[in-house]
Structure 1
Amino acid sequence: MDPEAPHHLRLAGVIRLSLGGGRGPSDAYVFDPHRLALPSWACALGGSGPPALLVTLDRHLDIVPPSKPEAVPDRSAGLRALDEHARWTLDVRNYDHILAAMEAGLVGDALFIARARPRGSFAGDVYKDTRGREHRLVAVSTVDRAAEAFLSPAPGDAVREVLERAERVLLDVDLDCFTSPSDADPTTVLPWPRSVIREFLLPDGSEPFWDAVLGKAVALTLAREPHHCGGLLASGELFHDAAEVLFRELLHAEPP
């Protein structure tokens, strides 16, 4: 490969898309294992500027601490160091990349729209990294709840607070957000139809919330995670349906 090639072309397994002409971020990064969000965020943010607020939609709260948080490279170490760390050191179960991104100085606070908590998840509302920085962890279960907390905060709601104080936002989506475990067999997941995806992503009254997110979003990262979405074929169909809603209806951009 040309040694002068753009950095994103060196991220094996990461597809970068231009979202020009829509609203919100101008670039998207698509990959399979969610831990590849770490180098993708580094590529999107560059080597300077304040950490970004992460707004992530997922079935799981991916906040298990890295096994060796002190070993996570700082963003100043460069894209290659973070890419190698994500591939060779982060957990293959893909649930420690967010706290690793906080350790690296890429992510400041995080807003989670997620429903399930993996074993070993960090239990607090504030994560203090090994460099001494504190990070707010705000969790709600649905976009509808996030929009409600943004428009009319109840005591203790922090959705509006973290969005208003953020300078930049990373919007992150795990495709398995749009699945549910089967009642008959919890090891089997059921992909949602497009109508349910639309109802979840774009509930009535959510426009002010999305305006606040997309007005500061610098990149979208999208993890396909086929082993969490029913396999390659099922996840491919789910990706098609989710992309129609996410790209065309939310971002006003052409689907990939």
Structure 2
Amino acid sequence: MREKVKTVVEFRNPYHIEPPGTLRQILSHPTQENGVIELAIFQEHRYAFFFWNKWVQKCKTPEPPCLVSLDWHQDLCYPCETEKEWLNELDLLNDADVSAFTWSKLNGLNDGQILAAAYLNLVGNIYVHCRQGNSKDAWKDEELIDKFGNAHIIRKFEEFEELESFLLNSNEEKVFFDIDLDFFVLDSGLHNGIFEFTYLKKGRIKEILHSERALMKWIFKRLEGFTIATEPEHCGGLLKSNKFLDTINQFYFKPELFSPKANWKWKNGDT
């Protein structure tokens, strides 16, 4: 039997460690006068776990924000018993530990980060608008009971308008907004092996995500953090992924993201 080797990584500054390849920017809050939020961008969707934890630990509020996620995939894989043991042992106040865990122990298929976060009560109820679901059962509401005994409702929506209608009539007060850029893919062709991607038209993307859209106004009013996963391999390539990221950038920000004075367009008088 192969002997297990425990690897210990010593970080130069363990208090400021983030998952590899991530970008983060502090922005003014989109609607609050003096508030601020963070936006994080990364290729691997599981890295969102790190930032949800960071923001919850910073706010120290009794109830975590709900999660609103736009994604091609559902990304709703439940943690197995081994993963629960790992999560139970994780020091959530240690950036280095959480970063290493997110990179090395969360499922590399990037489909376990949401319910791992729910298990630790880092997100509240979960609302996912996605395209993945091959049966009626795949769209049924579910419930996860976290390690503290809290119930998290998991709702999946086939149509954006269904998500919008539900949330506008909900009593959710805080939101983590999460976009996987492969949400803009209609079909990848992976099921028939031809790999011909088709995409949402830019007009439809604008219709959904425009800052004056009722759901976007609802989200921005309650926003506690914004995560974007680029996942180029699921978008048809790096340039396609970058194109969709630039679309979001053009919709919401001026100057552009990660420039020194990046800000929400409407805070500069634009729409």
TM bin (shorter chain)? 0.7 to 0.9
Unaligned residue ranges in structure 1 (runs of 5+)? 152-159
Pair 1:201 & 2:209 matched = yes
| 1:221-249 deviations in Å (ceiling 9; x for gaps) | 0000011101112212222123323546x
- Residues 84-123 of structure 1 correspond to what in structure 2 (within 5 A)? 84-117=100-133
- The whole-number CA distance in structure 1 between the counterparts of 2:193 and 2:210 is 29
- Output one character per residue of 1:173-218: Cα deviation in whole Å (capped at 9) or x when no partner: 11111111156757443243422211232499x42x3333221211
Render the CA deviation track for 1:118-158: whole Å, top value 9, x for unaligned: 99x7965211234432101122223322223345xxxxxxx
Instruction: Quote the Cα distance in structure 2 between the aligned partners of 1:77 and 1:57.
Output: 28
Cα contact 1:182–1:190 (8 A) shared by 2: yes
Is 1:29 the counterpart of 2:36? The answer is no
Name the structure 2 match of 1:143. 160
Residue 55 of structure 2 corresponds to residue 44 of structure 1? yes
Pick the aligned partner of 2:79 from 66, 73, 77: 66
CA contact (8 A) 1:191 1:234 kept: no
Give the alignment of 1:175-214 within 5 angstroms.
Answer: 175-182=181-188, 187-202=195-210, 206-207=213-214, 209-214=215-220
CA shift, 1:56, in A, is 0.9
Secondary structure of 1:26's counterpart equals strand
Q: Structure 1 vs Structure 2: percent identity of aligned residues?
A: 23
Give distance in 1, aligned partners of 2:160 and 2:23.
26
1:247 and 1:177 mapped to 2: Cα distance?
20
Q: TM-score, normalised by structure 1?
A: 0.78
RMSD, aligned CA: 3.3
Please report how far the alpha carbon of residue 23 of structure 1 lies from its aligned counterpart in structure 2 after TM superposition: 3.4
Residue 41 of structure 2 contacts residue 227 of structure 2 at CA under 8 Å; is this kept in 1? yes
Q: Is 2:13 the counterpart of 1:3?
A: yes
C-alpha distance in structure 2 between counterparts of 1:79 and 1:109, whole Å: 24
CA contact (8 A) 2:177 2:223 kept: yes
* Contact 2:118–2:124 (CA under 8 A) maintained in structure 1: yes
Rounded to whole Å, the distance in 2 between the matches of 1:75 and 1:186 is: 44
Opposite residue 77 of structure 2, the aligned amino acid is V
Query: Whose RCO is larger (CA < 8 A, sep 6+)?
Result: 1
Return closer, same or farther for 1:77/1:104 CA change in 2, 3 Å cut-off: farther
SS at match of 1:221: strand
Change over 3 Å in CA distance of 1:246–1:144 after alignment to 2? farther
Secondary structure of 2:111 counterpart: coil
Number of equivalent positions: 238
* Alignment correspondent of 1:171: 177
